[in-house]
Structure 1
Amino acid sequence: MPKTSFEKTRKAIAKKKGPIESLHQYSRDSKRLHRAQVRDEKLEKIAASRRKNDQPYRTYVHQYDEELDEIKKSRRKGRPPSTKEDLFKMKIESLQKEWRNGFRQYL
């Protein structure tokens, strides 16, 4: 997990001054720590809203999973996959590829 800017700032101040508890409330270093903490909170908030907005796309990508599972369960053991199953696999694969790479066309 990457370090947050708060952790980096805290570590830099600790190297320079010693323990963080020795800072007084309105010192430059305490303001640096506060700014770093606010920055991290803001970035986390933005990331959470992005993850929330991506949810519909994730459900769209996995829309054929249930049908594919049903087809796999109904197939007898030792039989090759049916054409319908192959089509579902190809659809799922293409949707996942689009999700990973965007809608870019490769020549």
Structure 2
Amino acid sequence: MPSRLSKVQKHITKKKGKNASLHENSRDTKRLQRASGRDDKLNRLTTMREKQNRPYLIRVKHFQTCCQDHDLAFPIDEIQAFISQYLARDDDELATLQAERRAGRPPSTRETLLKQNQVTEQGEYTSGFWLPDLQDVDNVKMLKEWDGKWASLGQLKFARVAKDGHARESIFPPKGLS
């Protein structure tokens, strides 16, 4: 998508000429400042949105790698094993951080974040862990062909699988306990 700033710059250059200088408080300078502000705001919002979506992309990517060798739907116990694998992905790093810390020292920021993330994900697992629906054969095939982009996740079906073995349909993007 072309930036609005480049359009404004092109228009001003066309009107004034290539070597024309602008006055500090001129209308054209203010137009350039507003266009630059709009572009900065859009870039900031885009990066924030990508940062928010990254954990879900990593989660779906994990389940995609888990089902690469299979073409059939998975029973609940295998899905729960995949979830347990996913929840244990940071255990090695957490153990290393705890071992490196000297006695009596507070935990590092990274260690605290990993622990908080694990607690949050364990809580989500007890109420219903959001993941692609692996009990549907067509959905497993589509997941295997997924290109890794957020926009193409809308084609997949999702489910929430609880620790006690209950599975229910969910929506994309995840919102609360939907």
Q: When the two structures are superposed, what TM-score results if normalisation uses the length of structure 2?
A: 0.42
How many positions carry a matched residue from both structures? Answer: 88
- Compared with structure 1, are the counterparts of its residues 67 and 101 closer, same or farther at alpha carbon in structure 2 (3 Å cutoff)? closer
Give the share of equivalent positions with the same residue, in percent.
33
Q: CA deviation at 1:62?
A: 1.4
**Which position in structure 1 is the counterpart of 2:31?**
32
Q: Please give the residue correspondences for 1:52-67 in structure 2 after superposition, counting only pairs within 5 Å.
A: 52-67=51-66
More helix by share: 1
**Unpaired segments ≥5 residues, structure 2:** 74-133, 147-151, 157-170, 173-178
Q: Please give the residue correspondences for 1:76-91 in structure 2 after superposition, counting only pairs within 5 Å.
A: 85-87=70-72, 90=137, 91=140
Q: CA deviation at 1:99?
A: 1.4
**Unpaired segments ≥5 residues, structure 1:** 72-84
Give the 4+ runs in structure 1 shifted more than 3 A: 65-69, 101-104
Work out the CA distance in 1 between the residues paired with 2:10 and 2:57: 38
Work out the CA distance in 2 between the residues paired with 1:92 and 1:56: 22
Larger radius of gyration: 1
**Which position in structure 2 is the counterpart of 1:9?**
8
- Compared with structure 1, are the counterparts of its residues 10 and 46 closer, same or farther at alpha carbon in structure 2 (3 Å cutoff)? same
Give the aligned CA root-mean-square deviation in angstroms.
2.9
Work out the CA distance in 1 between the residues paired with 2:35 and 2:2: 12
More strand by share: 2
1:101 and 2:150 correspond: no
